[in-house]
């Protein structure tokens, strides 16, 4: 039996764990504008396949949607599904996640982490899987600043990482992660994403079904 999520009235807002297999509707708007959901997901079993198909599809109608924007939205939608399906997995652990699709100044989504603390997400789709993200080229400072000012993430608790970057790059440059952001920004990189979804047929089936349901709404 699926457990329902609850949150106490006190400041800790503790939540009951939600099983990774639980089905959640997507809120991201990408399925509404996606050119061909079946082409993206049918037979897809690996992240590399999905990203290649997404990149190819993004170039089909550049006058209608900017290819980089289209690819970014598709990756954000993928991340939303992944968080829902793995929200109680210790490698992810973000609950009640909602994508941010307006006033986008760096935060792509917000949910709750361990103990019910606010947790923000940024998605960075990159074609070079060996590249390390840095503050100058990838505008990570916008994400951190908006997380603190708009969403009031708690950056003062020892050991707490209240912000997560999901990326198809290799990670965040060590100096940026440790010195600039004092290890408060967690990174789930291309290799870690592959460990979660590659050859995970149940994940890809649910992702496809979620997108089709969203498109039908």
* CATH code (residue 38): 3.40.1350
Rg (the chain; Cα; Å): 17
Model-wide pTM > 0.85: yes
pLDDT in tens, 176-185: 999 999 999 9
pLDDT in tens, 126-159: 999 999 999 989 999 999 999 999 999 998 888 8
Count of structural domains within the chain = 1
The reply to whether 6 falls in a domain is no
Confidence at residue 74, expressed as pLDDT on a 0 to 100 scale: 98
pLDDT in tens, 21-69: 345 689 999 999 999 999 999 999 999 999 999 999 999 999 999 999 9
Confidence label for 206 from pLDDT (cuts 50, 70 and 90): very high
The reply to whether 61 falls in a domain is yes
Cα dist. 126→72, 87, 166, 212 in Å? 9, 23, 11, 25
Q: Which domain holds residue 47?
A: 30-216
């Amino acid at each position: 039996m699926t457990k329902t999520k609850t949150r106490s009235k006190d400041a800790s807002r503790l939540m009951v764990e939600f099983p990774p297999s639980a089905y959640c509707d997507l809120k991201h708007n990408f399925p509404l504008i996606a050119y061909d959901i079946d082409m993206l997901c049918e037979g897809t079993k690996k992240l590399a396949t999905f990203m290649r198909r997404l990149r190819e599809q993004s170039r089909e109608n550049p006058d209608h949607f900017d290819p980089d924007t289209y690819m970014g939205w598709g990756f954000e939608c993928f991340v939303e599904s992944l968080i829902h399906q793995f929200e109680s997995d210790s490698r992810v652990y973000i609950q009640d996640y909602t994508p941010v699709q307006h006033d986008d100044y760096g935060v792509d989504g917000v949910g709750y982490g361990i103990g019910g603390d606010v947790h923000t997400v940024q998605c960075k789709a990159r074609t070079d899987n060996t590249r390390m993200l840095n503050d100058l080229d990838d505008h990570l400072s916008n994400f951190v600043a908006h997380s603190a000012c708009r969403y009031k993430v708690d950056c003062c608790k020892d050991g707490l990482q209240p912000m997560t970057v999901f990326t198809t790059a290799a990670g965040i440059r060590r100096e940026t992660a440790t010195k600039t952001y004092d290890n408060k920004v967690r990174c789930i990189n291309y290799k870690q994403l592959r460990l979660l979804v590659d050859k995970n047929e149940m994940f890809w089936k649910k992702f496809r079904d979620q997108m089709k349901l969203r498109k039908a709404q």
